[in-house]
Structure 1
Amino acid sequence: MTRFAALDPLWQRLRSWPRPLVGLLSAHWKHAARTVAAALSALGIAYALELDMPFSAAVTVMLVAHPVHGMVLSKSINRFLGTLAGALVSVVLMGAFAQTPEMFMLGLSLWMGACTFASTLLRNFRSYGTVLAGYTVVLIAMPGVEAPDTMFHLVANRVSDVTIGIVCSGLVAALFTSRSAERGLRHKLRGGMLDLVDYAGRALRDPQADGRSAEAIRRRLAAEIVALDSLAEFAAAESAAIAPLRDTLRIGLAAMLGVLAAGASAEEALRRLPRTEGGHLADPGLARAVTDCLGLLGELAIALGHPDSPARAGELAALRQRLLALAQRIEAGIDPTRLPDLVARDRLAELLDELRATLGGPIALAAPPAGPGRAVPLPGAEEDRRRAGRFGFHLDWRGAAINGVRATLATWVAGAVWILTAWPYGWMMVAMVVPNAGLLAMRDHPERDAVELTKGCLLAALLGWVSLAYLLPLFDSFAGLCLVIGPILFLAVLLSVNPATAFIGVGVSVFYLTLLTPSNPMVYNASLFLNSALPTVGGAALTMVVFRVVLPNDLRGHVRAIVRAMRRDILDLLNRDVAPSDWETRMHDRMIRLIGRMRAAEMNHAELIRGGFAALRIGREVIRARRLHAGFPPGGLVDRLIEPSRHALARIDRAPRATVRALRLSANGLLTVAAHEQPERAAELGAIAASLLEVAMLVGRNRRFFQSGGRGLARGLPC
């Protein structure tokens, strides 16, 4: 026993593995089995229709495969639309430049650059469909360069192959995949709401807690909420019941992001209040308001934990009404002459208002189908719709321009090499470089991914050679073909679902069938296989060179560009009206991208993250103050008091200290006026003053972030 005592920890660990490991393997193996079944079905149908390139139908299945049904549908739709657009451009370019390959390559390179540029600015599978519209021209037109009169035949075959692959993939997903996007949306939204309520409760219960832990929680929740927007899109594509709720869900998701900012503001406002020796708030009225908020949050957490049902929808609708009533009661108790109390009450009311708006999505998902007298009343829903705008995203114009130029140059150079060398199979190298230049452009480390893709191509070539030379000659039927390629495709899918081997799996999935080129009848030509494998693997290797030499990805430059965009948007807010949800969602998306780029660049600069969140909150307060200010007559005393603050904010990058002083002076002036106004007007003036003071505090704490668009901090970044 003592001899093997050292192995006991290992044995205990092995005993703890089976259940989760078996569950994970089971899910991945089921997905792989579905994908292979759909791919072989598409291949069989393409054979039956006697298409020229039946393997393209199976490759389409491998490319659109995903464990989530809604994602398969969304990706398939965008792939089909991208294929149609690429087919149309193929006909136009070949018709215009059939006799001048140089001009054809120039037109192709410009089209590919434009598609890559646009795909960088888009999200989800719209981005994929756009870049596919670019490189589809290569896949269709390049085989027909020497015979332009066959272009319409090539286009018809390509569209037919893609359509067969999409239909087979969709049917298999519909028959054998549960509606996991809808189920995942319900599960993740419930979990996100519970986490959000817990976050708000922590902010009110313990405002003296370590701010860094709260910051980490905010970052995690923000990433989960932004991911929910994509999941809602996939669920809407998958389920007819979710599709009509898309706008309601987006309004709720925007409000969830608003809770993160409002919770931080409320936490800081409560932290500045005087307290008794026992740590309780010295103001009994405010202490009672906080207690009421916490009690309502506890009830909300219990209701959110219940399963979806009409009763749960009614319960949440009632809590939504109570949140609105409590916010109004807290605002009614605002005293403009007591500044700390004013700010704290204003922040509490704002937090409750954002929480109320988040409940629209859970209520809509829990409610029964709409019918006479069955609709669940949503207090304040019209106000939410009025305040909400589109779901904004960060538009990386700099990155899009770089990616577009790189794709243009890579396409043109690859085409020039092919034309100058007159290599008969050089078009295959072009057909390899061009898609990779577009598809890998959105990755943080495209040069590393290109290495993994090259490994996948080499593995595909090796497996293809073994299949062609030793395995396929043993069979003379379609069943035998499936018996040979099925296990290899199964392995490719398993590799692609593992993040560590994803690009190796993609390489095997796509290029094994492409190099093998199964036809009817099957052709066993070793020379043709090697002539195809060499430019394919060479094109993958050339892709590595492209991303290392042609405008290599500058992650630190991306970080600086995001910081500049945040500062620039604050200045733009002074001259244009922006919906709160548009601001919230775009800035949170920027924060997620900022953190992701910093992690990819192996940077650890917490001051940048704090400054970015401060910029988000400043924008919130500017929008809120403008909305409140709109109720006062133009050109009056309130205008004259606020005008210096607006001018000071316009100089936030040049004189942040002066900006802080101007904001505080304006806030004090508004509070002086509020002391002589009617209660309703006094509350509005107090809310504007609270926003100005919040902005002053945030600018004062993050001066280096705003100076020259973050240049003060950017200088501290290793370059």
Structure 2
Amino acid sequence: MPGDATSAADDIRPRVFAGFPVSSWAFALRVLLAMLLALYVSFWLELESPSSAAVTVAILALPTRAQGMEKAGYRLLATAIGVIASIAIAGTFSQTGALLPAVLGIWVGLCVYVAGMLDGNRAYAAALSCITVALIAIQQIDSPLQVFPTGVARGAAIAIGVLAVALVNEVLAAPDYHPVLASRLETLHRRVTEFAQRAVRGEASSATAAADMLRDVAALHPEIASLVTESISGPARTAAARSAIVGLVSELAHARTLAALPAASATSRDDRNPDASGLIAICRTHLRDQIIRRNADVRDSLEALRAGNHPLRQWRAPLYRSPRIAAAAGVRAAIHFILIAIIFVMAGWPTTALCLSLAAVIIGLSATAPDPRAFTTLAVFAMPIACLLAGVLKYLVFNGVSEFQLLAIGLAPLVIGAALLITRPSGVLPPLGRLSLVFTLVILAPSNPQSYDPDVFLVTCLFAQLSSVLVFAAQLLLPSLSGERRIRLLLDEAHRELSRLDSGRARHLAPEEAAFRDAARIEQILTTNGATAPPPRVVAEALRCFDEAVVLRRCHAELDRLAETSLGNAVRAARAALTLRDGGAILTAAEALRQTAAQSNLSVEPVLAALVPASIVLEPWRSFAGSGQGTHP
């Protein structure tokens, strides 16, 4: 039997060649073929910027079909927006002298702000709108009449790159993404189920474990959108995955609420609340039923994701972003760009447009990274690597040749090597490999015929490296918000939302959807400092805000359902107690609701199951004197 288990494990373990799985080599081959196809078609059509097609392939180099096609769609959309913005800016401000860099800086800041309010490839599209203006309007700053032809040429090259990626992925059967996503969701489902089972058994719950699960579930939000472009069943799978992550957060929230209830022995000893034991029993039974129901909903959603069907219950998964943090990032990006522009204008260098456009590219790309300064630091290291690789290819490998076959042979090691690094699971190598590949193609600028002027190449390398260094220096001079400051802003916004909930406002979302939005805030708090976890007190405060918001929304939702019944007076009393955050008054209102409902033969178990935890979470343990015990942090 042990031997059979070992052989089975060997069969499951992926095959490795030269230190990389076979799937990584297949991915590298697809990237190479797509890039060569894009360059060949661009040369054949005699496009003005064939290198844009190759760069597009490098940017869209993602392991699965869905991820690449979603990013391709946003790249086309952002390019169109950037071309329109370039024409508008160049046509309006080309003759305004020093005002033009300021306008370009404002556009950069606006794009960074929008990127900060979005996630995933939508944030990339906002940043690309800034990059497109940099590559079109800035490089044609002295010849505004060339903005439109340059924009059309860039759009055509990008379209060819997108089509090349789509064709190669289809012909070579690039893997789908939904099996990977379904596997990750099933792993999270098992973790949440185990957490809920411990809560049902009355075991202590871990605040850190709950926060980590909320972070991991919310982190899947940007990846789910890519399923839309995967196949004809993509929209159904997207809806199923979205419902699954909302259901997971709801199940976890119910488990935490159940864990917050005091033990039956503690409530039975409370003489000041003789009805507390009965209310607790009703609440515990209802919460257990809700956990079972949510668990079944998640299971159904996962089955629908696998089968490509719409789930029985569809939820929205609203995105949470801090406007203040996004605005601060946008203002800083605008100032960084304007400072660099002032340096170039004062220096009077002839290649100012090239360096300024590259600076805008780095600023835009860094806006989509969790840590902009860390991204810029990586760009500072990637740029000389790219210059070295481009120089080796141009003057040692190609050395004056213009045949496409030799170009393909020379590019193969670079593209395959970078693609293999991109497939690494984590660490600094994947982003470094992608940046090095993109920057190498930008500096090499494959064309037909290929230029081999050493003076142009050296100047390009010099100013490319200078642009990354200047962006890094600008970010040192005016750094982004610190992790502690961003956490404080996120927690302040959570407290403000709680204040609005106390007054019965801010209920435009269903409680389950709003809980997912709050989970997205926790995900940002936990990932603000990268791999460094925030202090336990921060995690505890974030979870306390999450728990309070969950119970308040449930209370108001259930009370709204009973507002027009004969329980109107009891409902108003419960709302007043919630506003005051008076645990004893909330319990009194809950008991009044139970007695009044019994006389009217109405079912109020969901309301009681919401009010009783509210009396504990909003005013911990005051309504159960002398208990002093609990599993809730």
Name the TM-score class by shorter chain. 0.7 to 0.9
For residues 172-321 of structure 1, what are the structure 2 equivalents within 5 Å? 172-205=168-201, 207-209=202-204, 211-212=205-206, 215-269=207-261, 272-274=263-265
1:661-687 per-residue CA deviation (whole Å, 9 max, x = no partner) reads: x23223124314523542775651x54
1:431 counterpart residue number: 357
Shift of residue 350, structure 1, vs aligned partner = 2.6
Shift of residue 170, structure 1, vs aligned partner = 1.6
Contact 2:219/2:523 (CA < 8 Å) preserved in 1? Answer: no
1:694 counterpart residue number: 613
2:548 partner amino acid: I
1:74 counterpart residue number: 70
Contact 1:46/1:161 (CA < 8 Å) preserved in 2? Answer: yes
Contact 1:414/1:429 (CA < 8 Å) preserved in 2? Answer: no
1:679/1:35 CA distance change after superposition, 3 Å = farther
**Is the counterpart of residue 596 in structure 1 residue 527 in structure 2?**
yes
For residues 83-162 of structure 1, what are the structure 2 equivalents within 5 Å? 83-162=79-158
1:369/1:411 CA distance change after superposition, 3 Å = closer
1:622 counterpart residue number: 552
Match of 1:449 among 375, 378, 386: 375
1:364 counterpart residue number: 304
2:587 partner amino acid: A
Shift of residue 41, structure 1, vs aligned partner = 1.4
1:433-453 per-residue CA deviation (whole Å, 9 max, x = no partner) reads: 112112213434322322221
1:514-555 per-residue CA deviation (whole Å, 9 max, x = no partner) reads: 222222222211001011111100001112112211243311
Match of 1:532 among 449, 457, 460: 460
1:367/1:506 CA distance change after superposition, 3 Å = closer
1:313-338 per-residue CA deviation (whole Å, 9 max, x = no partner) reads: xxxxxxxxxxxxxxxxxxxxxx9872
1:542 counterpart residue number: 470
1:445/1:628 CA distance change after superposition, 3 Å = closer
1:471 counterpart residue number: 397
**In the aligned structure 2, how far is the partner of 1:252 from the partner of 1:180?**
19
**In the aligned structure 2, how far is the partner of 1:143 from the partner of 1:676?**
75
For residues 492-571 of structure 1, what are the structure 2 equivalents within 5 Å? 492-498=418-424, 499-571=427-499
Taking CA–CA contacts closer than 8 Å with sequence separation of 6 or more, which of the two structures ends up with the larger relative contact order? 2
1:55-93 per-residue CA deviation (whole Å, 9 max, x = no partner) reads: 111011101110121010000000110001101111111
1:308 counterpart residue number: none
Contact 1:402/1:551 (CA < 8 Å) preserved in 2? Answer: no
For residues 58-73 of structure 1, what are the structure 2 equivalents within 5 Å? 58-73=54-69
**In the aligned structure 2, how far is the partner of 1:679 from the partner of 1:27?**
67
2:249 partner amino acid: L
Q: What SS is found at the alignment partner of 1:675?
A: helix
TM-score normalised by structure 1 residue count: 0.77
Contact 1:394/1:589 (CA < 8 Å) preserved in 2? Answer: yes
Contact 2:32/2:412 (CA < 8 Å) preserved in 1? Answer: yes
1:666 partner amino acid: I
**In the aligned structure 2, how far is the partner of 1:242 from the partner of 1:230?**
15
Match of 2:537 among 589, 607, 611: 607
Higher share of residues assigned helix: 1
Contact 2:260/2:617 (CA < 8 Å) preserved in 1? Answer: no
2:244 partner amino acid: G
Shift of residue 186, structure 1, vs aligned partner = 3.1
1:220/1:670 CA distance change after superposition, 3 Å = closer
- Answer with 467-476 or 254-263: which moved more: 467-476
Contact 1:667/1:688 (CA < 8 Å) preserved in 2? Answer: no
**In the aligned structure 2, how far is the partner of 1:692 from the partner of 1:104?**
59
**Is the counterpart of residue 54 in structure 1 residue 50 in structure 2?**
yes
In structure 2, the gaps of 5 or more residues are 1-9, 269-274, 623-633
Q: What SS is found at the alignment partner of 2:399?
A: helix
Shift of residue 474, structure 1, vs aligned partner = 6.2
Contact 1:632/1:638 (CA < 8 Å) preserved in 2? Answer: no
1:197/1:54 CA distance change after superposition, 3 Å = same
Shift of residue 465, structure 1, vs aligned partner = 1.8
1:211-265 per-residue CA deviation (whole Å, 9 max, x = no partner) reads: 32xx344334323332444333222210212313433442332121100011122
1:640/1:198 CA distance change after superposition, 3 Å = closer
**In the aligned structure 1, how far is the partner of 2:332 from the partner of 2:187?**
41
**In the aligned structure 2, how far is the partner of 1:50 from the partner of 1:638?**
77
1:368/1:46 CA distance change after superposition, 3 Å = closer
1:170-221 per-residue CA deviation (whole Å, 9 max, x = no partner) reads: 211222243421222333333333333333223223x234x32xx3443343
Contact 1:663/1:692 (CA < 8 Å) preserved in 2? Answer: no
**In the aligned structure 2, how far is the partner of 1:507 from the partner of 1:249?**
31
1:668 counterpart residue number: 588
1:620-641 per-residue CA deviation (whole Å, 9 max, x = no partner) reads: 2222222222214489431442
1:482/1:249 CA distance change after superposition, 3 Å = closer
**In the aligned structure 2, how far is the partner of 1:189 from the partner of 1:673?**
39
- Answer with 240-249 or 446-455: which moved more: 240-249
1:572 counterpart residue number: 500
TM-score normalised by structure 2 residue count: 0.87
1:678 partner amino acid: A
Q: What SS is found at the alignment partner of 1:274?
A: helix
Contact 1:336/1:675 (CA < 8 Å) preserved in 2? Answer: no
1:153/1:195 CA distance change after superposition, 3 Å = same
1:565/1:440 CA distance change after superposition, 3 Å = same
For residues 269-418 of structure 1, what are the structure 2 equivalents within 5 Å? 269=261, 272-274=263-265, 338-365=278-305, 381=312, 384=313, 388=315, 390-418=316-344
Shift of residue 507, structure 1, vs aligned partner = 3.0
